[in-house]
Amino acid sequence: MIKIKILLILTFIIANAFIINSDCQSDDKGITADSYQNPINRGMNPDPSICRAGDDYYLVSSSMFFYPGVPVYHSKDLINWKLIGYCLTTKEHFCLDKNNSSPMMYAATLRYHDGTFYMITTEVNGGGNFFVTAKNPAGPWSAPVFIDRPMFDPSLFFDDDGKVYYTRRGSFDNKDIVQAEIDISTGKLLTELRSVGKGLVSDDIEGPHLYKVDGLYYLMAAEGGSRALHMETIGRSKSPWGPFESCPNNPILSQRNAWWHPVKCAGHADLVQSEDGRWWAVYLATRHMGYNYFSNLGRETFLVPLTWQDGWPVVNPQNVYELTVNTKTLPLHPWETEPFRDNFNSKTLGIDYNFLAYPNRKIYSLTEHPGYLRLWGTENGLEETKQVAFVGKRQKDINSVCDASVEFKPDNSNDEAGLTVFQESNFHYDIFISIRHGKKTVVLRKTVGDIKQETASSSIKTDKLYLKIESDKDLYHFYYSGDNINWKLLGTGNCRLISTEVADVWSGIFYGMFAAGNGKNCKNPADFDWFEYKGLDK
């Protein structure tokens, strides 16, 4: 009897352990949830575009002036996403020549057709519209196929009769949506570009996508600009050329209801049908805490389910207003958690690091000083239009901690190495080692528009310094330490002064390691022993 009781107890323990483990594993057990949290891709990930290949989902977003260009994410459940590569990784991809060293990549569209992935985008500073292809979305991607130079937000639609349509906004000045049939093998337009629509709610329309659902063509687009008035509208027609009847419930997706909601600027959407037959939209929006209107992180990627009623897509507005979306998810498939700290023990940088513009390979190294990231400061400062020793990651959380260990021997007051909270070249906060009044010094500098000021400094006696930046909804806090135990607060910086709204940019904050000579190249390198980022948002 005792043996039977013991056996029953052991059976109960094992069964419960299995149930607990099943809750965690989810993907092969069919576990779903009744809600999920937005954004699904945190940090700067605007203008999302999505496609499905079997039971795999792939998504791209705009990369602006950062390299590599157009990140590619993979998901099995639409909720959990993993960065797997970039579409643009070569000088050819960035349209670089002697007249264009500062690329700017606007909204991309990702499509999958007949075993091939197509990514089409715009290089605003001169390259124009082009697409690249790949059999594996992680890369490598093909050489660019150029279409035309006018702008912007291009999209591709593969019809079931074999025709392919190229759709985009006319230009910065021409606010019509224009379209042509395209030879997808050559990029040659087979018909003249012609207008297929104007704004259905406003006189500012962009980001068009063409779809075919139940025999009808739908033209969906973003309107109202990409700030507080942003929204998504849709029209339908029996022909891909229109005319497109406006949805009676336009805009179908927006957050212009009230300024106190934590989500703002919702729009620029793309649709996907999941394997179970349901429909979803990915879109950009900004995330806020309290009544704060300003966004440091930039435009992030959000997800919302939709249904079809009377031939029109319908989105529950509450799922756009709030960060929690109440709906049954697909079977969940979480990825392994990324490590917080990088000790630079590999010979290659991690996939989630980015550079300003196309990098000079001679100004950073993981092999010259094994176990360290070595940066050679150039004559340039922190400018995205120049070759600068900058390696950074997106700030993905409103509440976060970023820290690093750096060894640096500056020769003069022009030499700098440290950490930066970087929005763009005229809006960033930096904590760095340099020379001031003949002494080695840790400095806090703020660059806000045409105001550049060193607001705090402290002399130091060591070549190795630990730097830390903490963020909350209001402030960045800058610390330094000589032993990684006893930290001193050097100063703070107001978040809103380097927000995307104040800087008037379409990017978002990156935490970066940097070195700079500010007039001439540094004679000595900056060696980073490790770099760490922790997100503290729920």
Averaged pLDDT of the chain = 91
Percent of the chain predicted with pLDDT > 90 = 81
Task: Judge whether 33-326 and 341-535 match in fold.
Answer: no
Task: Report how far residue 464's alpha carbon sits from residue 472's, in angstroms, rounded to the nearest whole number.
Answer: 27
- Structure tokens given for 427: 């809006």
Examine the pLDDT at 143 and tell me if it is beyond 50: yes
CA-angle at 343, arms to 341 and 346, nearest 5°: 120
Examine the pLDDT at 16 and tell me if it is beyond 70: no
Give the amino acid at 345. N
Residue 101's pLDDT band (boundaries 50, 70, 90)? low
Q: How far is CA 435 from CA 269, 330, 372, 441, 457, in A?
A: 49, 56, 23, 6, 10
Beta-ladder partners of 463:
none
What is the pLDDT at residue 380?
86
Residue 82's pLDDT band (boundaries 50, 70, 90)? very high
Listed range (23-27, 139-143, 379-383) with the worst mean pLDDT:
23-27
Tell me: the pLDDT tens digits for 422-435? Answer: 999 999 999 999 99
Listed range (25-29, 366-370, 398-402, 429-433) with the worst mean pLDDT:
25-29
- Structure tokens given for 403: 């820290």
CA-angle at 422, arms to 44 and 69, nearest 5°: 45
Q: Which fold has domain 341-535?
A: Jelly Rolls (2.60.120)
| Catalytic site residue from 77, 123, 153, 206 | 206
Helix boundaries (H) for 315-368: 318-321
Let me know how long the chain is: 538
Examine the pLDDT at 102 and tell me if it is beyond 80: no
Q: Measuring CA to CA, which residue among 95, 109, 25 is closest to residue 67?
A: 95
Task: Report how far residue 513's alpha carbon sits from residue 389's, in angstroms, rounded to the nearest whole number.
Answer: 8
> Which residues, at least 6 apart from 364, have a Cβ–Cβ distance to it below 8 Å?
373, 374, 375, 376, 389, 391
Q: Which helix (H) or strand (E) holds 252?
A: none
What is the pLDDT at residue 161?
97
CB 235 within 8 A of CB 213: no
Examine the pLDDT at 25 and tell me if it is beyond 60: no
What is the pLDDT at residue 357?
78
> Which residues, at least 6 apart from 419, have a Cβ–Cβ distance to it below 8 Å?
402, 403, 404, 406, 430, 431, 432, 467, 469, 511, 512, 513, 514
| 33-326 belongs to CATH 1.25.40.10 | no
Average pLDDT over residues 214-238: 96
Examine the pLDDT at 6 and tell me if it is beyond 50: no
Average pLDDT over residues 173-195: 95
Give the amino acid at 60. V
Examine the pLDDT at 172 and tell me if it is beyond 60: yes
What is the pLDDT at residue 171?
81
What is the pLDDT at residue 391?
96
Residue 538's pLDDT band (boundaries 50, 70, 90)? confident
Q: How far is CA 143 from CA 17, 73, 91, 168, 518, in A?
A: 52, 21, 10, 21, 35
Highest mean pLDDT among 14-18, 103-107, 244-248: 244-248
Instruction: Count CB atoms within 10 A of the CB of residue 86.
Output: 22
Tell me: the pLDDT tens digits for 488-509? Answer: 999 999 999 999 999 999 999 9
Examine the pLDDT at 376 and tell me if it is beyond 90: yes
CB 120 within 8 A of CB 129: yes
Average pLDDT over residues 437-457: 97
Phi-psi region of 318 (alpha: psi -120 to 50; beta: other; left: phi over 0): alpha
Task: Please state whether the peptide bond connecting residue 317 to the residue before it is cis, i.e. omega within 30 degrees of 0.
Answer: no
244 three-state secondary structure:
coil
Task: Please state whether the peptide bond connecting residue 359 to the residue before it is cis, i.e. omega within 30 degrees of 0.
Answer: no
Listed range (174-178, 249-253, 495-499) with the worst mean pLDDT:
174-178
Highest mean pLDDT among 53-67, 164-178, 346-360: 53-67
CB 365 within 8 A of CB 507: no
Known catalytic membership, residue 270: no
Work out the end-to-end distance of the chain between its first and last CA atoms, rounded to an integer number of angstroms.
Answer: 49
Tell me: the pLDDT tens digits for 260-318? Answer: 899 999 999 999 999 999 999 999 999 998 778 899 999 999 999 999 999 999 999 99
Examine the pLDDT at 122 and tell me if it is beyond 60: yes
E strand map for 336-487: 341-342, 355-356, 364-365, 373-375, 389-394, 400-407, 416-424, 427-436, 439-448, 451-459, 464-471, 475-481
What is the pLDDT at residue 99?
57
Known catalytic membership, residue 206: yes
Examine the pLDDT at 403 and tell me if it is beyond 50: yes
- Structure tokens given for 494: 């107001």
Task: Report how far residue 512's alpha carbon sits from residue 389's, in angstroms, rounded to the nearest whole number.
Answer: 10
Examine the pLDDT at 7 and tell me if it is beyond 70: no
514 three-state secondary structure:
strand
- Structure tokens given for 419: 């950490």
Q: Tell how far CA 235 is from the center of its chain.
A: 28
What is the pLDDT at residue 100?
56
- Structure tokens given for 101: 């060293």
Domain boundaries, the chain: 33-326, 341-535
What is the pLDDT at residue 472?
95
Residue 415's pLDDT band (boundaries 50, 70, 90)? very high
> Which residues, at least 6 apart from 363, have a Cβ–Cβ distance to it below 8 Å?
375, 376, 377, 378, 387, 388, 389
Give the amino acid at 279. W
132 three-state secondary structure:
strand
Tell me: the pLDDT tens digits for 56-73? Answer: 999 999 999 899 999 999
Average pLDDT over residues 450-474: 96
